[in-house]
Structure 1
Protein backbone atom coordinates (compact mmCIF):
# COMPACT_ATOMS: atom_id res chain seq x y z
CA UNK A 1 0.00 0.00 0.00
CA UNK A 2 2.76 2.38 0.96
CA UNK A 3 4.62 1.51 -2.22
CA UNK A 4 1.50 2.15 -4.27
CA UNK A 5 1.02 5.54 -2.58
CA UNK A 6 4.63 6.53 -3.29
CA UNK A 7 4.26 5.49 -6.92
CA UNK A 8 1.04 7.50 -7.21
CA UNK A 9 2.66 10.58 -5.63
CA UNK A 10 5.67 10.29 -7.96
CA UNK A 11 3.35 10.06 -10.95
CA UNK A 12 1.39 13.12 -9.82
CA UNK A 13 4.63 15.07 -9.26
CA UNK A 14 5.90 14.14 -12.71
CA UNK A 15 2.58 15.18 -14.24
CA UNK A 16 2.80 18.49 -12.40
CA UNK A 17 6.25 19.16 -13.83
CA UNK A 18 5.01 18.37 -17.31
CA UNK A 19 2.03 20.68 -16.88
CA UNK A 20 4.29 23.46 -15.61
CA UNK A 21 6.59 23.02 -18.58
CA UNK A 22 3.77 22.89 -21.10
CA UNK A 23 3.17 26.66 -21.42
CA UNK A 24 6.90 27.30 -21.96
CA UNK A 25 7.13 24.51 -24.54
CA UNK A 26 4.02 25.82 -26.32
CA UNK A 27 5.42 29.39 -26.29
CA UNK A 28 8.71 28.19 -27.76
CA UNK A 29 6.95 26.13 -30.39
CA UNK A 30 4.77 29.10 -31.35
CA UNK A 31 7.61 31.64 -31.40
CA UNK A 32 7.25 34.36 -32.38
CA UNK A 33 3.46 34.26 -32.54
CA UNK A 34 2.71 34.71 -28.83
CA UNK A 35 3.64 38.40 -28.32
CA UNK A 36 5.63 41.35 -29.71
CA UNK A 37 9.42 41.21 -29.59
CA UNK A 38 11.28 43.91 -27.67
CA UNK A 39 14.57 45.11 -29.15
CA UNK A 40 16.43 46.94 -26.37
CA UNK A 41 18.87 49.69 -27.35
CA UNK A 42 21.04 50.69 -24.37
CA UNK A 43 21.54 54.22 -25.70
CA UNK A 44 19.39 57.27 -26.36
CA UNK A 45 17.28 57.68 -29.50
CA UNK A 46 18.95 59.22 -32.54
CA UNK A 47 22.41 57.65 -32.28
CA UNK A 48 23.97 55.02 -34.50
CA UNK A 49 22.70 52.11 -32.38
CA UNK A 50 19.16 53.47 -32.39
CA UNK A 51 19.20 54.08 -36.16
CA UNK A 52 20.48 50.55 -36.72
CA UNK A 53 17.88 49.02 -34.38
CA UNK A 54 14.99 50.73 -36.15
CA UNK A 55 16.38 49.82 -39.56
CA UNK A 56 16.61 46.14 -38.60
CA UNK A 57 13.59 46.00 -36.30
CA UNK A 58 11.06 47.08 -38.89
CA UNK A 59 12.23 44.49 -41.41
CA UNK A 60 12.66 41.76 -38.81
CA UNK A 61 9.04 42.27 -37.83
CA UNK A 62 8.00 41.68 -41.44
CA UNK A 63 10.18 38.56 -41.73
CA UNK A 64 8.88 37.06 -38.48
CA UNK A 65 5.30 38.29 -38.94
CA UNK A 66 5.44 39.82 -35.49
CA UNK A 67 5.78 43.37 -34.18
CA UNK A 68 9.29 44.39 -33.08
CA UNK A 69 9.31 47.27 -30.61
CA UNK A 70 12.52 49.31 -30.17
CA UNK A 71 12.98 50.17 -26.48
CA UNK A 72 15.66 52.77 -25.62
CA UNK A 73 17.15 52.08 -22.18
CA UNK A 74 20.10 54.47 -21.92
CA UNK A 75 22.59 54.79 -19.10
CA UNK A 76 26.03 53.82 -17.78
CA UNK A 77 27.61 53.37 -21.19
CA UNK A 78 25.13 50.73 -22.29
CA UNK A 79 25.19 48.79 -19.01
CA UNK A 80 21.61 49.54 -17.88
CA UNK A 81 19.96 48.29 -21.06
CA UNK A 82 22.21 45.26 -21.29
CA UNK A 83 21.42 44.35 -17.70
CA UNK A 84 17.70 44.48 -18.44
CA UNK A 85 18.14 41.93 -21.22
CA UNK A 86 20.46 39.72 -19.14
CA UNK A 87 17.69 39.35 -16.56
CA UNK A 88 14.83 38.87 -19.05
CA UNK A 89 13.13 35.54 -19.76
CA UNK A 90 15.11 33.49 -22.34
CA UNK A 91 12.11 33.02 -24.61
CA UNK A 92 13.12 34.95 -27.72
CA UNK A 93 10.95 37.97 -26.95
CA UNK A 94 13.73 40.22 -25.64
CA UNK A 95 16.78 41.07 -27.77
CA UNK A 96 19.67 43.43 -27.06
CA UNK A 97 21.35 45.61 -29.66
CA UNK A 98 24.58 46.07 -27.74
CA UNK A 99 28.04 47.33 -28.58
CA UNK A 100 31.72 47.13 -27.79
CA UNK A 101 30.88 49.33 -24.76
CA UNK A 102 28.30 47.02 -23.20
CA UNK A 103 30.11 43.75 -23.92
CA UNK A 104 33.84 44.45 -23.94
CA UNK A 105 34.93 47.84 -22.65
CA UNK A 106 32.70 48.25 -19.61
CA UNK A 107 33.13 44.64 -18.43
CA UNK A 108 36.90 45.04 -18.80
CA UNK A 109 37.17 48.43 -17.13
CA UNK A 110 34.61 48.39 -14.31
CA UNK A 111 35.34 46.72 -10.99
CA UNK A 112 31.68 45.78 -10.55
CA UNK A 113 29.19 44.81 -13.24
CA UNK A 114 25.54 43.74 -12.78
CA UNK A 115 25.94 41.04 -15.43
CA UNK A 116 28.54 38.71 -16.92
CA UNK A 117 29.06 39.76 -20.54
CA UNK A 118 29.81 36.19 -21.62
CA UNK A 119 27.77 33.89 -19.36
CA UNK A 120 24.53 35.91 -19.16
CA UNK A 121 23.90 36.26 -22.90
CA UNK A 122 23.41 34.11 -26.00
CA UNK A 123 25.24 35.80 -28.92
CA UNK A 124 23.08 36.05 -32.05
CA UNK A 125 25.01 37.97 -34.70
CA UNK A 126 27.75 40.56 -35.10
CA UNK A 127 26.04 43.31 -37.09
CA UNK A 128 29.20 45.09 -38.14
CA UNK A 129 32.03 47.43 -37.27
CA UNK A 130 32.56 51.16 -37.68
CA UNK A 131 36.11 52.54 -37.89
CA UNK A 132 37.24 55.33 -35.63
CA UNK A 133 39.52 58.01 -36.99
CA UNK A 134 42.29 60.07 -35.36
CA UNK A 135 41.56 63.73 -36.03
CA UNK A 136 43.34 67.01 -35.45
CA UNK A 137 41.99 70.51 -35.86
CA UNK A 138 42.57 72.17 -39.20
CA UNK A 139 44.92 74.70 -37.57
CA UNK A 140 47.09 72.10 -35.84
CA UNK A 141 50.67 71.61 -37.08
CA UNK A 142 50.51 67.77 -37.11
CA UNK A 143 50.39 66.50 -40.69
CA UNK A 144 50.65 62.79 -39.85
CA UNK A 145 50.60 60.34 -36.96
CA UNK A 146 54.37 60.34 -36.53
CA UNK A 147 54.41 64.11 -35.97
CA UNK A 148 51.70 63.84 -33.32
CA UNK A 149 53.55 61.02 -31.55
CA UNK A 150 56.80 62.99 -31.58
CA UNK A 151 55.07 66.04 -30.11
CA UNK A 152 53.36 63.95 -27.40
CA UNK A 153 56.68 62.38 -26.42
CA UNK A 154 58.33 65.79 -26.28
CA UNK A 155 55.52 67.23 -24.12
CA UNK A 156 54.13 64.36 -22.01
CA UNK A 157 50.52 64.81 -20.88
CA UNK A 158 50.27 68.28 -22.41
CA UNK A 159 48.65 67.42 -25.75
CA UNK A 160 45.01 66.45 -25.31
CA UNK A 161 42.60 64.19 -27.13
CA UNK A 162 38.82 64.46 -26.91
CA UNK A 163 36.36 61.57 -26.86
CA UNK A 164 32.61 61.12 -26.66
CA UNK A 165 32.92 59.93 -23.07
CA UNK A 166 34.56 57.61 -20.58
CA UNK A 167 34.51 54.01 -21.74
CA UNK A 168 33.54 54.76 -25.34
CA UNK A 169 35.39 53.09 -28.20
CA UNK A 170 36.76 56.56 -29.01
CA UNK A 171 38.20 56.89 -25.51
CA UNK A 172 39.70 53.42 -25.61
CA UNK A 173 41.17 54.02 -29.07
CA UNK A 174 43.13 56.80 -27.42
CA UNK A 175 44.19 54.62 -24.50
CA UNK A 176 45.40 51.87 -26.83
CA UNK A 177 47.21 54.49 -28.92
CA UNK A 178 48.99 55.77 -25.82
CA UNK A 179 50.14 52.26 -24.95
CA UNK A 180 51.22 51.16 -28.42
CA UNK A 181 52.76 54.42 -29.62
CA UNK A 182 54.22 55.54 -26.32
CA UNK A 183 52.42 58.85 -26.79
CA UNK A 184 51.37 60.37 -23.48
CA UNK A 185 48.18 62.23 -24.47
CA UNK A 186 45.75 63.64 -21.91
CA UNK A 187 42.16 62.41 -22.22
CA UNK A 188 39.31 64.95 -22.20
CA UNK A 189 35.93 63.13 -22.00
CA UNK A 190 32.80 64.83 -23.32
CA UNK A 191 29.12 63.99 -23.04
CA UNK A 192 28.71 62.83 -26.60
CA UNK A 193 30.45 63.04 -29.96
CA UNK A 194 28.85 66.33 -30.97
CA UNK A 195 30.44 68.56 -28.33
CA UNK A 196 33.75 66.68 -28.56
CA UNK A 197 34.26 67.27 -32.27
CA UNK A 198 32.99 70.85 -32.04
CA UNK A 199 35.78 71.63 -29.59
CA UNK A 200 38.32 70.14 -31.99
CA UNK A 201 36.87 72.28 -34.78
CA UNK A 202 36.88 75.29 -32.44
CA UNK A 203 40.53 74.71 -31.45
CA UNK A 204 39.81 74.11 -27.74
CA UNK A 205 41.26 70.57 -28.02
CA UNK A 206 43.96 69.69 -30.56
CA UNK A 207 43.00 66.09 -31.34
CA UNK A 208 40.26 63.51 -31.06
CA UNK A 209 39.31 59.92 -31.81
CA UNK A 210 35.86 59.78 -33.40
CA UNK A 211 33.71 57.41 -35.45
CA UNK A 212 33.83 57.96 -39.19
CA UNK A 213 30.04 58.35 -39.07
CA UNK A 214 30.39 61.59 -37.09
CA UNK A 215 33.74 62.74 -38.46
CA UNK A 216 33.25 62.29 -42.22
CA UNK A 217 31.33 65.51 -43.04
CA UNK A 218 33.78 67.59 -41.00
CA UNK A 219 36.75 65.97 -42.74
CA UNK A 220 35.18 66.60 -46.13
CA UNK A 221 34.52 70.24 -45.26
CA UNK A 222 38.14 70.75 -44.17
CA UNK A 223 37.24 71.67 -40.58
CA UNK A 224 39.35 68.80 -39.22
CA UNK A 225 42.19 66.71 -40.65
CA UNK A 226 42.17 62.91 -40.55
CA UNK A 227 45.53 61.35 -39.70
CA UNK A 228 44.58 57.66 -39.61
CA UNK A 229 41.67 55.23 -39.30
CA UNK A 230 41.78 52.69 -36.49
CA UNK A 231 40.75 49.58 -38.43
CA UNK A 232 43.13 47.14 -40.12
CA UNK A 233 41.95 48.20 -43.60
CA UNK A 234 41.29 51.63 -45.06
CA UNK A 235 37.78 53.04 -44.95
CA UNK A 236 36.24 53.28 -48.45
CA UNK A 237 34.80 56.71 -47.68
CA UNK A 238 38.31 58.02 -46.88
CA UNK A 239 40.56 56.11 -49.30
CA UNK A 240 43.39 58.63 -48.94
CA UNK A 241 43.61 58.23 -45.13
CA UNK A 242 46.05 55.51 -43.97
CA UNK A 243 45.34 52.92 -41.33
CA UNK A 244 47.06 53.35 -37.98
CA UNK A 245 49.28 50.40 -38.88
CA UNK A 246 50.27 52.03 -42.16
CA UNK A 247 50.95 55.23 -40.23
CA UNK A 248 53.53 53.47 -38.09
CA UNK A 249 51.68 51.94 -35.10
CA UNK A 250 52.10 48.24 -35.84
CA UNK A 251 49.30 45.93 -34.72
CA UNK A 252 46.87 48.73 -33.85
CA UNK A 253 43.22 47.88 -34.53
CA UNK A 254 40.00 49.18 -33.00
CA UNK A 255 36.47 49.17 -34.37
CA UNK A 256 33.24 50.39 -32.81
CA UNK A 257 31.18 47.23 -33.27
CA UNK A 258 27.51 46.39 -32.76
CA UNK A 259 25.75 43.08 -32.24
CA UNK A 260 22.59 41.30 -31.14
CA UNK A 261 22.24 39.12 -28.04
CA UNK A 262 19.38 37.34 -26.27
CA UNK A 263 19.41 36.20 -22.62
CA UNK A 264 21.45 33.08 -21.87
CA UNK A 265 19.33 29.96 -22.19
CA UNK A 266 17.36 31.14 -25.22
CA UNK A 267 16.60 28.03 -27.33
CA UNK A 268 19.22 27.45 -30.02
CA UNK A 269 16.54 27.23 -32.71
CA UNK A 270 15.40 30.78 -31.92
CA UNK A 271 18.97 32.13 -31.89
CA UNK A 272 19.68 30.46 -35.24
CA UNK A 273 16.47 31.81 -36.79
CA UNK A 274 17.29 35.35 -35.61
CA UNK A 275 20.82 35.07 -36.98
CA UNK A 276 19.56 33.94 -40.38
CA UNK A 277 16.77 36.52 -40.68
CA UNK A 278 18.95 39.45 -39.62
CA UNK A 279 21.72 38.55 -42.03
CA UNK A 280 19.18 38.41 -44.87
CA UNK A 281 18.10 41.91 -43.87
CA UNK A 282 21.65 43.29 -43.79
CA UNK A 283 22.28 42.42 -47.46
CA UNK A 284 19.07 44.02 -48.75
CA UNK A 285 20.16 46.81 -51.15
CA UNK A 286 18.38 49.64 -49.32
CA UNK A 287 19.69 48.43 -45.95
CA UNK A 288 23.24 48.03 -47.25
CA UNK A 289 23.11 51.56 -48.66
CA UNK A 290 22.13 52.88 -45.23
CA UNK A 291 24.88 50.85 -43.54
CA UNK A 292 27.37 52.44 -45.94
CA UNK A 293 26.28 55.91 -44.83
CA UNK A 294 26.83 54.84 -41.21
CA UNK A 295 30.25 53.44 -42.07
CA UNK A 296 29.17 50.00 -40.83
CA UNK A 297 30.87 47.02 -42.49
CA UNK A 298 29.16 43.62 -42.10
CA UNK A 299 30.44 40.10 -42.81
CA UNK A 300 28.44 36.88 -42.46
CA UNK A 301 28.98 35.25 -39.07
CA UNK A 302 27.45 32.51 -36.96
CA UNK A 303 26.44 32.79 -33.29
CA UNK A 304 29.57 30.80 -32.38
CA UNK A 305 31.83 33.07 -34.43
CA UNK A 306 30.29 36.08 -32.73
CA UNK A 307 30.81 34.47 -29.32
CA UNK A 308 34.49 33.87 -30.13
CA UNK A 309 34.87 37.47 -31.34
CA UNK A 310 33.27 38.84 -28.16
CA UNK A 311 35.62 36.80 -25.95
CA UNK A 312 38.66 38.04 -27.90
CA UNK A 313 37.53 41.68 -27.63
CA UNK A 314 36.92 41.36 -23.90
CA UNK A 315 40.40 39.87 -23.38
CA UNK A 316 41.93 42.68 -25.45
CA UNK A 317 40.39 45.46 -23.36
CA UNK A 318 41.19 43.67 -20.13
CA UNK A 319 44.83 43.81 -21.20
CA UNK A 320 44.54 47.53 -22.02
CA UNK A 321 42.93 48.17 -18.63
CA UNK A 322 45.69 46.29 -16.86
CA UNK A 323 48.65 47.70 -18.76
CA UNK A 324 47.29 51.23 -19.08
CA UNK A 325 45.98 51.30 -15.51
CA UNK A 326 42.60 52.48 -16.81
CA UNK A 327 39.34 51.98 -14.90
CA UNK A 328 35.84 53.35 -15.20
CA UNK A 329 33.46 54.63 -12.54
CA UNK A 330 29.84 55.72 -12.83
Structure 2
Protein backbone atom coordinates (compact mmCIF):
# COMPACT_ATOMS: atom_id res chain seq x y z
CA UNK A 1 0.00 0.00 0.00
CA UNK A 2 1.34 3.44 -0.96
CA UNK A 3 1.62 5.92 1.89
CA UNK A 4 -1.08 8.57 1.64
CA UNK A 5 -0.16 10.77 4.63
CA UNK A 6 3.17 12.61 4.92
CA UNK A 7 4.03 13.95 8.38
CA UNK A 8 6.94 16.39 8.69
CA UNK A 9 7.99 17.39 12.23
CA UNK A 10 9.55 20.86 12.13
CA UNK A 11 12.44 21.65 14.49
CA UNK A 12 12.30 24.83 16.60
CA UNK A 13 13.29 27.84 14.52
CA UNK A 14 16.02 30.14 15.85
CA UNK A 15 14.66 33.19 17.66
CA UNK A 16 13.58 35.79 15.12
CA UNK A 17 13.95 33.42 12.17
CA UNK A 18 11.13 32.82 9.69
CA UNK A 19 10.77 29.40 8.11
CA UNK A 20 10.84 29.60 4.33
CA UNK A 21 9.54 26.31 2.90
CA UNK A 22 11.00 25.00 -0.35
CA UNK A 23 8.95 25.76 -3.46
CA UNK A 24 8.07 22.08 -3.88
CA UNK A 25 6.31 22.12 -0.51
CA UNK A 26 4.52 25.36 -1.39
CA UNK A 27 3.32 23.82 -4.66
CA UNK A 28 2.01 20.75 -2.83
CA UNK A 29 0.19 22.94 -0.32
CA UNK A 30 -1.33 24.80 -3.25
CA UNK A 31 -3.16 21.61 -4.21
CA UNK A 32 -4.51 21.10 -0.70
CA UNK A 33 -6.84 22.69 1.82
CA UNK A 34 -6.72 22.74 5.64
CA UNK A 35 -8.15 19.51 7.07
CA UNK A 36 -7.66 19.81 10.81
CA UNK A 37 -5.36 21.27 13.42
CA UNK A 38 -4.07 19.87 16.70
CA UNK A 39 -2.92 22.33 19.37
CA UNK A 40 -1.10 21.45 22.59
CA UNK A 41 -0.46 23.55 25.69
CA UNK A 42 3.03 24.75 26.53
CA UNK A 43 3.33 22.21 29.33
CA UNK A 44 2.19 19.24 27.23
CA UNK A 45 4.38 16.17 27.86
CA UNK A 46 4.05 15.11 24.21
CA UNK A 47 4.93 16.83 20.95
CA UNK A 48 2.10 17.44 18.48
CA UNK A 49 3.50 15.08 15.84
CA UNK A 50 3.66 12.27 18.42
CA UNK A 51 -0.06 12.74 19.07
CA UNK A 52 -0.78 12.74 15.33
CA UNK A 53 1.00 9.38 14.99
CA UNK A 54 -0.85 8.03 18.02
CA UNK A 55 -4.20 9.08 16.54
CA UNK A 56 -3.32 7.52 13.18
CA UNK A 57 -2.64 4.21 14.92
CA UNK A 58 -5.73 4.32 17.12
CA UNK A 59 -3.78 4.73 20.36
CA UNK A 60 -4.52 6.82 23.44
CA UNK A 61 -3.90 10.46 22.45
CA UNK A 62 -4.04 11.93 25.93
CA UNK A 63 -0.62 13.65 26.18
CA UNK A 64 1.74 11.57 28.29
CA UNK A 65 -0.45 8.46 28.22
CA UNK A 66 0.27 6.89 24.82
CA UNK A 67 1.56 3.34 25.52
CA UNK A 68 4.43 3.53 23.03
CA UNK A 69 6.54 0.80 24.65
CA UNK A 70 3.70 -1.74 24.57
CA UNK A 71 2.74 -0.72 21.02
CA UNK A 72 6.26 -0.78 19.59
CA UNK A 73 7.17 -4.15 21.16
CA UNK A 74 3.80 -5.86 20.72
CA UNK A 75 3.45 -6.36 24.48
CA UNK A 76 -0.13 -7.22 25.46
CA UNK A 77 -1.62 -7.22 28.96
CA UNK A 78 1.55 -6.21 30.81
CA UNK A 79 2.20 -2.55 31.68
CA UNK A 80 5.56 -1.41 30.36
CA UNK A 81 7.65 1.61 29.45
CA UNK A 82 10.90 2.61 27.79
CA UNK A 83 13.84 3.32 30.10
CA UNK A 84 16.44 5.48 28.36
CA UNK A 85 19.86 5.84 30.01
CA UNK A 86 20.78 9.48 29.64
CA UNK A 87 22.94 12.39 30.71
CA UNK A 88 21.66 15.20 32.87
CA UNK A 89 23.58 18.42 32.32
CA UNK A 90 23.84 20.12 35.70
CA UNK A 91 24.33 23.88 35.75
CA UNK A 92 24.41 26.43 38.53
CA UNK A 93 20.66 27.02 38.33
CA UNK A 94 19.30 24.29 36.10
CA UNK A 95 19.35 20.62 35.10
CA UNK A 96 18.78 19.76 31.43
CA UNK A 97 18.41 16.49 29.55
CA UNK A 98 21.10 16.04 26.88
CA UNK A 99 19.94 14.61 23.56
CA UNK A 100 20.25 10.80 24.00
CA UNK A 101 20.98 10.43 20.27
CA UNK A 102 24.27 12.28 20.77
CA UNK A 103 25.52 9.89 23.46
CA UNK A 104 26.49 7.12 21.01
CA UNK A 105 25.73 4.40 23.54
CA UNK A 106 26.52 1.09 21.86
CA UNK A 107 24.79 -2.22 22.53
CA UNK A 108 27.51 -3.62 24.80
CA UNK A 109 27.68 -0.53 27.02
CA UNK A 110 23.89 -0.25 27.14
CA UNK A 111 23.48 -3.84 28.26
CA UNK A 112 26.31 -3.56 30.81
CA UNK A 113 24.58 -0.64 32.46
CA UNK A 114 21.23 -2.43 32.32
CA UNK A 115 22.62 -5.58 33.97
CA UNK A 116 24.05 -3.45 36.78
CA UNK A 117 20.70 -1.71 37.24
CA UNK A 118 18.54 -4.87 37.08
CA UNK A 119 18.66 -5.87 40.78
CA UNK A 120 17.64 -2.39 41.90
CA UNK A 121 14.65 -2.27 39.55
CA UNK A 122 13.68 -5.83 40.47
CA UNK A 123 13.26 -4.76 44.09
CA UNK A 124 10.36 -2.61 42.91
CA UNK A 125 8.83 -5.30 40.73
CA UNK A 126 10.28 -3.94 37.48
CA UNK A 127 11.88 -6.31 34.98
CA UNK A 128 14.34 -4.85 32.46
CA UNK A 129 14.91 -6.26 28.97
CA UNK A 130 17.54 -5.19 26.42
CA UNK A 131 15.87 -4.27 23.14
CA UNK A 132 18.13 -1.80 21.35
CA UNK A 133 21.21 0.27 22.19
CA UNK A 134 20.23 3.06 24.51
CA UNK A 135 16.75 1.77 25.37
CA UNK A 136 15.52 -0.84 27.83
CA UNK A 137 12.02 -2.28 27.92
CA UNK A 138 10.77 -2.12 31.51
CA UNK A 139 7.77 -4.18 32.62
CA UNK A 140 5.92 -3.62 35.88
CA UNK A 141 2.59 -2.56 37.34
CA UNK A 142 3.98 0.90 38.19
CA UNK A 143 3.79 1.79 34.49
CA UNK A 144 0.07 1.09 33.99
CA UNK A 145 -1.16 4.67 34.51
CA UNK A 146 2.15 6.54 34.60
CA UNK A 147 2.13 9.88 32.75
CA UNK A 148 5.49 10.42 31.06
CA UNK A 149 7.26 13.18 29.16
CA UNK A 150 8.52 12.15 25.75
CA UNK A 151 12.22 12.49 25.01
CA UNK A 152 11.43 14.90 22.19
CA UNK A 153 9.58 17.22 24.56
CA UNK A 154 12.06 16.95 27.43
CA UNK A 155 15.40 17.04 25.59
CA UNK A 156 17.32 20.30 25.83
CA UNK A 157 14.97 22.06 28.21
CA UNK A 158 15.45 22.60 31.94
CA UNK A 159 14.07 19.70 33.96
CA UNK A 160 11.65 21.29 36.38
CA UNK A 161 10.52 19.60 39.61
CA UNK A 162 7.10 19.24 37.98
CA UNK A 163 8.59 17.37 35.00
CA UNK A 164 10.59 15.09 37.24
CA UNK A 165 7.62 14.38 39.45
CA UNK A 166 5.51 13.69 36.36
CA UNK A 167 8.11 11.30 34.99
CA UNK A 168 8.03 9.25 38.19
CA UNK A 169 4.31 9.59 38.86
CA UNK A 170 5.12 10.62 42.42
CA UNK A 171 6.07 6.97 42.87
CA UNK A 172 8.59 6.61 45.72
CA UNK A 173 10.26 3.60 44.10
CA UNK A 174 10.97 5.41 40.85
CA UNK A 175 12.23 8.49 42.68
CA UNK A 176 14.56 6.31 44.75
CA UNK A 177 15.76 4.50 41.62
CA UNK A 178 16.75 7.83 40.07
CA UNK A 179 19.02 8.54 43.03
CA UNK A 180 20.38 4.99 43.13
CA UNK A 181 21.20 4.98 39.43
CA UNK A 182 23.06 8.27 39.72
CA UNK A 183 25.35 6.73 42.32
CA UNK A 184 25.62 3.37 40.54
CA UNK A 185 26.44 4.82 37.14
CA UNK A 186 28.93 7.31 38.60
CA UNK A 187 31.35 4.50 39.47
CA UNK A 188 30.50 2.10 36.65
CA UNK A 189 33.44 1.09 34.38
CA UNK A 190 31.37 1.95 31.31
CA UNK A 191 31.44 5.60 32.32
CA UNK A 192 35.16 5.49 32.98
CA UNK A 193 35.63 4.24 29.42
CA UNK A 194 33.26 6.84 28.00
CA UNK A 195 34.95 9.72 29.75
CA UNK A 196 38.39 8.46 28.67
CA UNK A 197 37.09 8.78 25.09
CA UNK A 198 35.77 12.28 25.75
CA UNK A 199 32.12 11.16 25.84
CA UNK A 200 29.49 12.35 28.27
CA UNK A 201 28.85 9.96 31.18
CA UNK A 202 25.52 8.23 31.70
CA UNK A 203 24.26 9.63 34.99
CA UNK A 204 20.47 9.13 34.97
CA UNK A 205 17.54 7.55 33.14
CA UNK A 206 14.30 8.81 31.61
CA UNK A 207 10.96 6.99 31.47
CA UNK A 208 8.76 7.32 28.39
CA UNK A 209 5.86 5.63 26.63
CA UNK A 210 4.31 4.03 29.71
CA UNK A 211 1.02 2.17 29.64
CA UNK A 212 -0.61 -1.13 28.71
CA UNK A 213 -2.49 -2.61 25.77
CA UNK A 214 -5.43 -4.91 26.38
CA UNK A 215 -5.09 -6.56 22.97
CA UNK A 216 -2.66 -6.81 20.08
CA UNK A 217 -2.41 -3.56 18.16
CA UNK A 218 -0.56 -3.61 14.85
CA UNK A 219 0.73 -0.38 13.30
CA UNK A 220 -1.62 1.01 10.68
CA UNK A 221 -0.18 1.57 7.20
CA UNK A 222 -0.48 4.74 5.21
CA UNK A 223 1.62 7.28 7.11
CA UNK A 224 5.23 8.30 6.54
CA UNK A 225 6.98 10.32 9.26
CA UNK A 226 9.89 12.21 7.71
CA UNK A 227 12.12 13.12 10.64
CA UNK A 228 15.17 14.25 8.67
CA UNK A 229 14.84 17.85 9.83
CA UNK A 230 15.45 16.75 13.41
CA UNK A 231 18.96 15.52 12.65
CA UNK A 232 21.90 16.82 10.69
CA UNK A 233 22.06 19.84 8.40
CA UNK A 234 18.58 21.40 7.99
CA UNK A 235 19.46 22.74 4.53
CA UNK A 236 20.42 19.26 3.30
CA UNK A 237 17.34 17.80 4.97
CA UNK A 238 15.02 20.31 3.30
CA UNK A 239 16.67 19.62 -0.05
CA UNK A 240 16.09 15.87 0.34
CA UNK A 241 12.49 16.37 1.44
CA UNK A 242 11.86 18.73 -1.46
CA UNK A 243 13.23 16.15 -3.90
CA UNK A 244 10.92 13.48 -2.49
CA UNK A 245 7.93 15.81 -2.73
CA UNK A 246 8.77 16.65 -6.34
CA UNK A 247 9.24 13.03 -7.42
CA UNK A 248 6.61 11.27 -5.31
CA UNK A 249 3.97 13.44 -3.66
CA UNK A 250 3.41 16.25 -6.17
CA UNK A 251 2.67 13.99 -9.17
CA UNK A 252 0.17 12.00 -7.15
CA UNK A 253 -1.55 15.15 -5.86
CA UNK A 254 -1.66 16.58 -9.38
CA UNK A 255 -3.26 13.33 -10.56
CA UNK A 256 -6.07 13.82 -8.05
CA UNK A 257 -5.06 11.16 -5.52
CA UNK A 258 -6.40 11.58 -1.99
CA UNK A 259 -3.38 12.59 0.08
CA UNK A 260 -2.70 14.28 3.40
CA UNK A 261 0.21 16.40 4.60
CA UNK A 262 0.81 17.35 8.22
CA UNK A 263 3.36 19.95 9.30
CA UNK A 264 4.04 19.83 13.02
CA UNK A 265 5.90 22.23 15.29
CA UNK A 266 6.50 22.59 19.03
CA UNK A 267 2.93 23.55 19.90
CA UNK A 268 0.66 22.56 17.01
CA UNK A 269 0.20 20.31 13.99
CA UNK A 270 -1.68 21.42 10.88
CA UNK A 271 -3.03 18.86 8.44
CA UNK A 272 -3.90 19.50 4.80
CA UNK A 273 -5.67 17.27 2.30
CA UNK A 274 -6.03 17.20 -1.45
CA UNK A 275 -9.41 18.28 -2.77
CA UNK A 276 -11.64 16.76 -5.48
CA UNK A 277 -10.65 17.99 -8.92
CA UNK A 278 -13.86 19.95 -9.37
CA UNK A 279 -13.21 21.87 -6.18
CA UNK A 280 -9.55 22.36 -7.06
CA UNK A 281 -10.44 23.84 -10.44
CA UNK A 282 -12.70 26.43 -8.79
CA UNK A 283 -10.00 27.38 -6.32
CA UNK A 284 -6.95 26.99 -8.58
CA UNK A 285 -6.25 30.70 -8.85
CA UNK A 286 -6.54 31.27 -5.12
CA UNK A 287 -4.28 28.34 -4.30
CA UNK A 288 -1.69 28.77 -7.02
CA UNK A 289 0.68 30.33 -4.46
CA UNK A 290 -0.04 28.73 -1.12
CA UNK A 291 -0.06 30.99 1.96
CA UNK A 292 2.55 29.58 4.33
CA UNK A 293 2.25 32.19 7.08
CA UNK A 294 0.53 29.53 9.21
CA UNK A 295 3.99 28.04 9.83
CA UNK A 296 4.66 30.78 12.38
CA UNK A 297 1.83 29.40 14.53
CA UNK A 298 3.10 25.83 14.82
Both structures adopt the same fold (TM-score exceeding 0.5)? no
Structure showing the higher helix proportion among its residues: 1
For normalisation by structure 1, the TM-score amounts to: 0.25
Higher relative contact order (CA 8 A, sep 6+): 2
| Structure of greater Rg | 1
For normalisation by structure 2, the TM-score amounts to: 0.27
